[in-house]
Amino acid sequence: SAYTSLRVPALIMRGEHAPIPTRAIAERLPMLLPAARLAIVEGAGHMGPLTHADKVNATIARHIAESEAAHC
């Protein structure tokens, strides 16, 4: 219930091939966080930040830019 009070833009990321428990958590969090969105990194597993750094970094940068634009 504490998550529902968080109003910050949150980016939840998971790899397309992440383990099932990780997928379940990542799918549930955006339902609990009012300003969250889920991004799935295609082709990535659990270690997406290392194996798919370009995609992960681009997604994070886009999230930051969109969040800043929405709050200006």
Domain ranges of the chain: 2-70
pLDDT for res 55: 97
- Span 15-24, average pLDDT: 97
Binned at pLDDT 50, 70 and 90, residue 2 comes out as confident
- Span 4-32, average pLDDT: 95
Q: What is the pLDDT of residues 33-46, one digit of tens each?
A: 999 999 999 999 99
DSSP string of the chain?
-GGGG--S-EEEEEETT--HHHHHHHHHHHHHSTTEEEEEETT--TTHHHHTHHHHHHHHHHHHHHHHHHT-
pLDDT for res 71: 79
